[in-house]
Amino acid sequence: MELKEESGIGNPPRQGGVAGRRVVVIGGGVSGSLVAKSLQLRADVTLIDLKDYFEIPFASSRGMIEPAISERSVIHHKDYLPHGCLVVSKAINVTRSEVLTEDGRSVAFDYLVIATGHDNPIPRTRTQRLAEYQAEYEKIRAAGSILIIGGGPTGVELAAEIAIEFPAKKVTLVHDGSRLLKFIGRNAASKALGWLRSKNVEVKLRQSVDPNSISDGSKTYVSSRGEIIQADCVFLCTGKPAGSAWLKETMLRDSMDNLGRLKVDEGLRVKGHGNIFAIGDITDVKEIKQGSSALKHALIAAKNLEMMMSSGQRDGKLAAYNRRSSPTVTVSLGREEAVTEMAFGTAIGVLPGLIKCKDLYVGETRKLLGLNY
């Protein structure tokens, strides 16, 4: 069955479906989209997502200074999921056999995959998202001074992109930690800090700016140390909470840890639920939460779901997800350079930049989804 859009929300899920092969995926991010794509010819797949598109997150900062890249990084779900069903709505409850959505649908499943990642309010349609990228670009281009709040990978990459594309602009990055990029080692973080300062980005550590004080039209901001920061525009790049608040009122409320992440076994099944998987950033797997890990989650979950559907059993031996104790992490610094942390050390410059900067994994991700590079 081909996926078709109906009234802007996608075709309704099939009723009944192939016995024992109804798979519902909640969340159309990196891991959810790939597992849905991987299973669409082997199962009766329904994807439930808040939006009608998948966005390759690795290119988000570049998209704000080069909107054209978003034409490739923001992808209609229907483009890679022609044989599945799409429900553009919010999941609000889960029972042992159904998912209930905000628009009143009840979607039955034999197997469920929860891949809701982090809460990140973004537009509902691809058209709106592309327009948002264009508007952000226009805002940056018109600004003489820019404030970025948050020194994680998003904030650092955005500051770097602006510094390279618009070197005459005054860029200030405020971070409440003692160093940038706390998820990687101090050496790599120090190299990134030095690079930003060499490009005249003013980095203020151990300070914060109250997000509630940010308002349209305001050009003066006060840090937690009382420092006055002048900025024509501001971007909030702080961490987002796990996208699991809705689960607190469901049967899975006791399967969450204190950070709102779902507890999973080595096969990525939610503990205590033989037919429910969780993948991506919403899991309690002890690892750096990055896109490459989410992609591997999706492939392991798809493999296990295929085995379970083929055998008709839920208690057989499954493939295990083996996290890497020292994964390679790369943070892009503009169009050509990057800082990379590997098991044997760190590096910064053009050579690490070859890993990520040119295409920001957009082509590779599109290829995984079966699309033109």
**Is the predicted pLDDT of residue 7 greater than 80, yes or no?**
no
Residues 6+ apart with CB under 8 A from 230: 145, 219, 220, 221
**Is the predicted pLDDT of residue 26 greater than 80, yes or no?**
yes
Regarding whether 288 and 208 lie in a shared domain, the answer is: no
Residue 112 belongs to what domain range? 22-120+240-325
Whether residue 349 is contained in a domain is answered as yes
Question: What tens digit of pLDDT does each residue of 195-232 get?
Answer: 999 999 999 999 999 877 776 677 899 999 999 999 99
Regarding whether 207 and 65 lie in a shared domain, the answer is: no
Whether residue 92 is contained in a domain is answered as yes
Regarding whether 86 and 221 lie in a shared domain, the answer is: no
What confidence category does residue 43 fall into, taking pLDDT thresholds of 50, 70 and 90?
A: very high
Question: What tens digit of pLDDT does each residue of 81-100 get?
Answer: 999 999 999 999 999 999 99
Regarding whether 152 and 112 lie in a shared domain, the answer is: no
Whether residue 50 is contained in a domain is answered as yes
Regarding whether 344 and 210 lie in a shared domain, the answer is: yes
**Is the predicted pLDDT of residue 6 greater than 50, yes or no?**
no
Regarding whether 227 and 112 lie in a shared domain, the answer is: no
What confidence category does residue 326 fall into, taking pLDDT thresholds of 50, 70 and 90?
A: confident
Regarding whether 227 and 132 lie in a shared domain, the answer is: yes
Regarding whether 97 and 33 lie in a shared domain, the answer is: yes
Regarding whether 348 and 313 lie in a shared domain, the answer is: no
**Is the predicted pLDDT of residue 373 greater than 90, yes or no?**
no
Token pair in block for residue 225: 């140390």
Instruction: Tell me the three state secondary structure of residue 293.
Output: helix
Give the model's pLDDT for residue 32.
Answer: 98
Regarding whether 233 and 173 lie in a shared domain, the answer is: yes
What confidence category does residue 257 fall into, taking pLDDT thresholds of 50, 70 and 90?
A: very high
Whether residue 99 is contained in a domain is answered as yes
What is the average per-residue pLDDT within 347-366? 94
**Is the predicted pLDDT of residue 137 greater than 90, yes or no?**
yes
What are the backbone angles phi and psi of residue 332, rounded to the nearest 5°? Answer: -75, 145
Whether residue 1 is contained in a domain is answered as no
Instruction: For residue 91, give the CATH number of its domain.
Output: 3.50.50.60
Total tally of structural domains belonging to the chain:
2
Regarding whether 176 and 72 lie in a shared domain, the answer is: no
Give the model's pLDDT for residue 66.
Answer: 96
Q: Taking a C-beta distance cutoff of 8 angstroms, is the pair 274, 315 a contact?
A: yes
What confidence category does residue 341 fall into, taking pLDDT thresholds of 50, 70 and 90?
A: very high
Q: What is the mean pLDDT of the chain?
A: 92
Q: Taking a C-beta distance cutoff of 8 angstroms, is the pair 286, 18 a contact?
A: no
**Is the predicted pLDDT of residue 5 greater than 80, yes or no?**
no
Whether residue 373 is contained in a domain is answered as no
Q: Among 218, 212, 225, which residue's Cα sits nearest to residue 175? A: 225
Give the model's pLDDT for residue 19.
Answer: 64
Residues 6+ apart with CB under 8 A from 201: 159, 160, 163, 171, 172, 173
Q: Which element (helix H / strand E) includes 136? A: helix 126-142
Residues 6+ apart with CB under 8 A from 311: none
**Is the predicted pLDDT of residue 1 greater than 60, yes or no?**
no
What is the average per-residue pLDDT within 180-193? 95
**Is the predicted pLDDT of residue 3 greater than 80, yes or no?**
no
pTM of the complete model:
0.92
Rounded-to-10 torsion of CA 359, 33, 313, 323: 40
Regarding whether 147 and 230 lie in a shared domain, the answer is: yes
What is the average per-residue pLDDT within 318-326? 89
**Is the predicted pLDDT of residue 133 greater than 60, yes or no?**
yes
Q: Which element (helix H / strand E) includes 35? A: helix 30-39
Calculate what percentage of the chain has a pLDDT beyond 70: 94
